[in-house]
């Protein structure tokens, strides 16, 4: 997608990866950027508004665990912008001791946000199509025992995004893309020992505190590269500064009654 002149909605835009990705996206002469997030970061918002006076930039409060707030935010964005071309579901949460909240934010939040955004974007319902990018994780493509609840939630995001890219939404004109960052230097992954359900000693090869972390800046630049080139259904690994399309093995083809 060529970002120039586009209307973008970024969920979690004031987070570590979100802020840096919005910095990058804004360099592409957007028409508008709507930030949906739990809390407003007034300083960042004002900086963006001053630096990019030709882009309409605004904040809409959303607690992603509340479906009614997601519906309201998209309704307001639609009223203010007329349409949106790109939605990035970039909110997230990591504390495996809070199982319900992890699933509510990481999985249910993404599902609800996608389905509500689709109501506005679906060409077969009068929308203009576009792209929905869901931020999963390397933990959403490989079992990641140190963060097993998070890993389960992110596997759900990967699967759901790839499902939406299948034939049932083909007439929507919306493409669905999965982004899987590796460990990235934000506060999300600080003090991993306090975010795990395990009480025993963590073997060194599973110790997330010892895993290489890429810079947020590089991850953000690669997210923008994905947006610019991704095809419907594609999934992308963004790890230690590199960007690679993921090829999934086919594990099952449904046997059919003849």
Ligand X SMILES: NC(=O)c1ccc[n+]([C@@H]2O[C@H](COP(=O)([O-])OP(=O)(O)OC[C@H]3O[C@@H](n4cnc5c(N)ncnc54)[C@H](O)[C@@H]3O)[C@@H](O)[C@H]2O)c1
Task: State the DSSP code for 253.
Answer: -
The Cα–Cα gap between 26 and 4 comes to 9
Residue from 37, 85, 96, 122 binding ligand X (CB under 6 A): 37
Catalytic-labelled residue, pool 10, 59, 74, 150? 150
**Which CA distances in Å does 232 have to 90, 133, 173, 226?**
18, 10, 10, 11
By C-beta, is 10 or 84 nearer to ligand X? 10
Strands 242-245 and 235-239: antiparallel
Binder among 90, 127, 130, 156 for ligand X (CB under 6 A): 90
For ligand X, the binding residues in 46-65 under the rule CB under 6 A are 62-65
Is 85 within 8 Å of 1 (Cβ atoms)? Answer: yes
Minimum distance from CB of 174 to ligand X (Å)? 20
Residue 92 sits in the site that holds ligand X (CB under 6 A): yes
Decide: 74 and 21 in contact? Cβ < 8 Å: no
Q: Is 209 in the site for ligand X (CB under 6 A)?
A: no
Strand partners, 238: 181, 243
The yes or no reply on residue 156 touching ligand X (CB under 6 A) is no
Check if 150 is active-site.
yes
Binding positions for ligand X, rule: CB under 6 A: 12, 14-18, 37-38, 62-65, 90-93, 105, 135, 137, 181, 183-184, 186-189
Q: Name the residues annotated as catalytic.
A: 150
């Amino acid at each position: 997608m060529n970002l120039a002149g586009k209307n973008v909605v970024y969920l979690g835009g004031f987070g570590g990866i979100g802020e840096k990705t919005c910095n990058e996206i804004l360099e592409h002469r957007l028409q508008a950027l709507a930030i949906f997030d739990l809390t407003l970061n007034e300083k960042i918002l004002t900086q963006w508004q001053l630096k990019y006076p030709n882009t309409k930039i605004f904040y809409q409060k959303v607690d992603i665990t509340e479906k009614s707030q997601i519906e309201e935010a998209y309704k307001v964005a639609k009223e203010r912008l007329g349409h949106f071309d790109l939605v990035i579901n970039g909110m997230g949460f990591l504390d495996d001791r809070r199982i319900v909240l992890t699933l509510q934010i990481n999985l249910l939040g993404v599902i609800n946000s996608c389905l509500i955004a689709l109501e506005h974007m679906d060409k077969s319902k009068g929308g203009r199509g576009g792209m929905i990018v869901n931020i999963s994780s390397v933990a959403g493509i490989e079992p990641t025992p140190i963060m097993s609840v998070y890993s389960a939630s992110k596997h759900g995001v990967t699967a759901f995004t790839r499902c939406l890219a299948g034939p049932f939404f083909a007439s929507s004109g919306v493409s669905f893309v999965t982004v899987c960052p590796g460990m990235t230097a934000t506060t999300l992954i600080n003090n991993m020992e306090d975010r795990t359900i395990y009480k025993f000693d963590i073997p060194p090869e599973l110790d997330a505190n010892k895993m290489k972390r890429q810079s947020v800046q590089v991850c953000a630049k690669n997210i923008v590269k994905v947006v610019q080139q991704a095809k419907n259904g594609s999934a992308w690994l963004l790890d230690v500064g590199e960007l690679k399309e993921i090829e999934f093995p086919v594990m099952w083809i449904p046997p059919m009654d003849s």
